[in-house]
Chain A
């Protein structure tokens, strides 16, 4: 399937829902009739390791992207399994967000299908671009409510020379000390008693830091972020309070504010604000794109 065929499938009318591999938790509204379920094109279109860019269909699996980039010593900072489009439309970051940044910064250019069934290009093909408004950023985490992502250009990064997990006993005071002292750790996960740390870089630097701060080697991350836990988003300063009130063991991303929780996060916004309503009015006046998806979620 090419881009044009995908655009035709979405078409100008009817209620259409887009699916990737359905590996991510997406809350849906019961009882909404969907006329068509569509899936974006897949496949790598171009890969330029020396530009640090890769072009692929939104339906391409992250596994395929990982494989082709790893062959050239690179990776794309999109977490989890499933498709590229799914990772972008959901927009949830991985546990290495402290090191690699949020999902939104990985997207350079997107071609999406709008509510009229037309292909629209936003962003630009180069790692640096300020030509026009940054509509690409809006698509990340939009759950398909502004359009369906068809093809993207993503930024790649070099795979670090070495990457190791460690653990250390730490109360919150010790956590903040380590947070200040460590230079750009890739991940810091804290459960109230222990701090798990991922250090990326030169093996000698990693060994030196492990020795200096008394870190014990760990086989891998202490949690499976793709698991069934709930995900809270809080200000990083609120992490100790959230951990303290959880009642059970939960892990928080220190310096980021994502808490991998056992309960849903209370007090989340259920309705759109007036700018968002106007955005949806502009981008999907008939509310025909992913009308079965709860948004915001």
Chain B
């Protein structure tokens, strides 16, 4: 350990109590939930904004990069530290600070778990929830949701995280604290709050988040439609939207996924179907009844074999369990998986799905599709056994082709997982150099030092940053 490093660690320890330097412990933070590994330096668990400020100021003084981390459930390497960056783990800042149940917002710390926030509202007697509901919602944090502008099945009607964040307290990379947005609807100046949401930890660290809370719907109807062709299922999705409905959720699973899920949770899914569509309509009773009837009618017109309506909350929970445990169910097929996340215009869903099946066949892989059909957000899940020689190369090659096919169909690189390291080098598929320069300019305005989570999102060095080399130890 050099003298300079010793000074750095000693200074860090003066202002943050929970600090970890043991190489075995630190190595656990070399990656997030993606397959991309980096190298963590020191890991700190601040318990207050003051501790975050101290850590960030110390990093700034010593020119050390830092990475904010929530639960580490990200799938794009956004929280993967590179070059021994300091990992600032925010899971111990997990208090709900205040709740206004009438105007429906709450100030929370970034380490609050997504699902815990909604559960706490119930426990406090408020008929409210936090709308973004990524599949990892039992373990992901609100701060992570802010960083990734996370989505989830119920974002079709209610919007992604950005629509549910009113304000933020942020520690900038030089340790200054700023408040972006807030409880008032139209704060003066630029929408810095909006820019910060989805900035993948590269603009600073949120230490408080003002989240919007959503009323629980008085009536919910959850339906399962099954089809003998994926195209009929996809056409049903488009027809539902075109008929003037925005269901609370519109989720689809293909044949292999149905099989895996059914064997795992026994939800009574039809094993001979090519696709099932999970549709949820919510609201007041007459509206829900009318919408459910129209969904069933559209489905039957487009060749749905059966329309199953969940009779009670238990059956509804079972159907959702099937959808949300799809990723756990794949372990029954192969031990490893690689999950992609692209969006295509809904009208191109059937064609892009066909293309995905062709790509996967060409690379002799297996794919399960389980996705947010309502907003065209595909989640091809490539399953494999990493012990098989050469398979990772095939998985990556197929993944790249899937991303390219989605963008070629007029889609985007990521719907909710973010860019991180995983898709950084694909950004030029969607954006010109001029477009990317505009994004880099925003990053510079928030973090001129470039110390906040460097090397992510932007494929080329930011003009104001010190990003000049391919990071050591990056496995992309």
Q: Which positions in A face B, CB cutoff 8 Å?
A: 48-53, 72-74, 91-93, 97, 101-102, 104-105, 114, 118-122, 124-135, 137-138, 140-142, 146, 157-159, 161, 176, 179-180, 183-184, 201-205, 208-209, 231, 233-237, 253, 255-258, 268-269, 272-273, 275-276, 278-279, 281-283, 295-297
Contact = CB atoms under 8 A, between A and B. Distances in A.
Given A121-B435, A126-B345, A282-B441, A131 B188 contact: no
B198 A134 contact: yes
A132 B191 CA distance: 17
A261 to B, nearest CB: 13
Contacts of B163: 101, 105
A158 B244 contact: yes
B273 interface: no
A276 B189 contact: yes
A120 B102 CA distance: 41
Interface string B35-60: 00000000000000000000000000
A140 B191 contact: yes
B191 A158 contact: no
A72 B242 CA distance: 8
Contacts of A104: 191, 194
B290 A237 contact: no
Interface in B186-203: 186-192, 194-195, 197-199, 202
Contacts of B202: 133
Interface of B: 100-104, 148-149, 151, 155-156, 159-160, 162-163, 172, 178, 182-192, 194-195, 197-199, 202, 215, 217-218, 238-239, 241-242, 244-246, 283-287, 290, 343-347, 372, 375-377, 410-419, 423, 427, 430-432, 434-436, 438-439, 441-446, 448, 457-458
B198 A133 contact: yes
A93 B185 contact: yes
A233 B185 contact: yes
B286 A132 contact: no
Given A134-B194, A141-B191, A49 B242 contact: yes
Contacts of B184: 233-235, 257
A209 B189 CA distance: 39
Given A137-B194, A201-B284, A237-B100, A48 B345 contact: yes
Contact of A102 (B185, B285, B343, B347): B185
Contact of B343 (A126, A133, A176): A126
Secondary structure call for the B interface = loop
Contacts of B410: 125
B435 A124 contact: no
Contact of B189 (A48, A74, A105, A273): A273
Given A129-B415, A135-B439, A275-B192, A141 B217 contact: no
A297 B416 CA distance: 33
Q: Which of B101, B434, B448 has the most CB of A within 10 A?
A: B434
B198 A130 contact: yes
B159 A130 contact: no
Given A74-B244, A129-B412, A278 B183 contact: no
Contacts of A204: 286
B102 A235 contact: no
A72 B243 CA distance: 9
Given A92-B186, A138-B191, A297-B188, 5 more contacts: A127-B375, A134-B198, A142-B191, A146-B190, A234-B184
B178 A122 contact: no
6 contacts: A50-B238, A131-B419, A161-B290, A202-B286, A257-B185, A276-B190
Contacts of A184: 215, 283
A205 B186 contact: no
Question: Which 6 A/B pairs are nearest by Cβ-Cβ distance?
Answer: A137-B194, A282-B441, A296-B188, A205-B284, A204-B286, A50-B242
Q: Which of B160, B189, B284, B376 has the most CB of A within 10 A?
A: B189
